[in-house]
Structure 1
């Protein structure tokens, strides 16, 4: 008789988080599919929708088999498809590109923590699917002329070694930034441009004053990061990143529930903290490290405000917990 292996805490946590992430993606992709008129983008959106829907179904099956409650997800109640389009077609493509890129990273973190065969098979497949989606969205952005490549540098001519500790200095006389540092600055800035467009659209439609103020603060944080890192690139004569064209319509009717909006921001904050931490680990110049530490702290504080909002509104679900042994041991 086959021995049934129980799920570990890492596997339960990973499945639980992915269910919420992919369920939210299904809702958002439903919205973009409803409004998008570009046939090439619509085909990619449909593919992304089917992939996310498949992930939701697979996680549901595993959790049901284990007798674990399914998290409360989002549904048609969180969408208003009768609202006018809030974003133009190209933003739907940017959404698939950005979300597949972040999903690849997030799912990779989870995959290395799981071991049970069915769970590992699921996450390995998910990494492959999101990688393919990222590849297709990047190629489509290139073909439509909206993909901004990282800065070019001359090819190195020989291998060199670091000779002085001054290589770490970012204050006073500074060395030029290296390719790893350029890469992290570029994609941090790209991510924040996407966030600004998202905030810009949502600020037009959100009527709740507290949530409106929360989104406004997020937009300001993104603007500060873009200015900081573009200024660095300009000083290095790497020109800086150029903002994408405005992809927000003039609609003032919200297509999303407040719960969906705040949950989306909470998820984006979490992955942003992870990505800035990664940038910090690769940046050897002290001024860059100082900026990344500053923004990690700022986003942590901002994320806590979003979490407070979710708790106050009754939207924050309690993740699976270990039991309190002290309570269980009471007479």
Structure 2
């Protein structure tokens, strides 16, 4: 009896869970971004924004191809992601041109956070180089988006504060108080986190307003409107905190949603974007809470996380029920192997 000897593999460091998880997650993220950018670019009229939008789309497509090569070299299944069938280019513009710039700004701001975290978890050098390149490109695109938003007068700068006159050390335990009685002023880190939480939620309100306008499925529309109310609640809360500190609240961004009622995206793509926004919200609220040393802020953030997590679960359940949620790679189920 003859047996075929397994093919000899060249020496290779296989992907670990950190590389697999990072590459898989970024592939899905870039699939989503590619769909949105393809549609936004198709309808874009602003000649200033056009080159930036084209470059953003090229970067997403290039990242997808590079990740495909990583997976194919390892005989690892490439995620299905999203496709042309999830985008209807024939649909009228759902957003005005300035939203494309806002989308590029927010996408790259969040990508900078994601890529830096993902890169720090990877030890295979070729994968590490890939994520470092992604981080560099996102940082560059973020800077270009900010510059253009400033030129167009649609970027609301973070609040200013007076410079301290000298170095000081915390003298009282009351530094972390804030639930009752007199509160100390916000520190620079806390103020920064509040501002960017407001900014991110304004973006969510705009995109969910557009989605609610085009969705025909009543259940999904109600879910989207519920998410919009959660974001509006956060905006009101954080602006109230700023006003209490005698700091002007952040003003609402300009209306960027058209009057179109025709959906340019599949319901699956829309809910996938909401799922991503939920994940980002939980991560960044948790980050803000970890940096806040005033007890009242910590209490606010704890309540917000609980509310967003409950909403995220309901969104997750709908996506599972409709078989829209692609499963991340799982480890081997050893118990099942033994039982079988």
TM-score bucket (shorter structure): over 0.9
Q: Which residue of 1 aligns with 2:332?
A: 323
Please state if 1:159 is matched with 2:159: no
Separation in 2, partners of 1:330, 1:85: 55
Query: In terms of mean alpha carbon deviation, does 318-327 or 15-24 score higher?
Result: 318-327
Match 1:54 to one of 55, 62, 67: 62
Q: How does 1:39-188 map to 2 (within 5 A)?
A: 39-171=47-179, 172-188=181-197
Q: Unaligned regions of 5+ residues in structure 2, if any?
A: 1-8
Separation in 2, partners of 1:282, 1:76: 41
Structure whose CA Rg is larger? 2
CA deviations 1:142-184 (Å, max 9, x no partner) are 1111110111111111011111111111122111111101000
Please state if 1:309 is matched with 2:318: yes
Separation in 2, partners of 1:75, 1:328: 35
Separation in 2, partners of 1:66, 1:302: 37
Q: Which residue of 2 aligns with 1:258?
A: 267
Separation in 1, partners of 2:54, 2:327: 32
Q: Unaligned regions of 5+ residues in structure 1, if any?
A: none
Q: Note if contact 1:106-1:271 (Cα within 8 Å) is conserved in structure 2.
A: no
Separation in 2, partners of 1:248, 1:119: 38
Separation in 1, partners of 2:319, 2:242: 37
Q: Which residue of 1 aligns with 2:309?
A: 300
Q: 1:7: Cα distance to partner? A: 0.4
Please state if 1:267 is matched with 2:301: no
Q: Which residue of 2 aligns with 1:220?
A: 229
Separation in 2, partners of 1:180, 1:273: 18
Q: 1:327: Cα distance to partner? A: 1.7
Separation in 2, partners of 1:34, 1:152: 38
Please state if 1:276 is matched with 2:285: yes
CA deviations 1:232-271 (Å, max 9, x no partner) are 1011111110001101110000100000000111111112
Q: Note if contact 1:204-1:252 (Cα within 8 Å) is conserved in structure 2.
A: yes
Q: Note if contact 2:81-2:326 (Cα within 8 Å) is conserved in structure 1.
A: no
Separation in 2, partners of 1:311, 1:201: 23
TM-score with structure 2 length normalisation? 0.96
Q: 1:2: Cα distance to partner? A: 5.8
Q: Which residue of 2 aligns with 1:36?
A: 44
TM-score with structure 1 length normalisation? 0.98
Q: 1:330: Cα distance to partner? A: 2.9
User: How many residues end up aligned between the 2 structures?
Assistant: 331
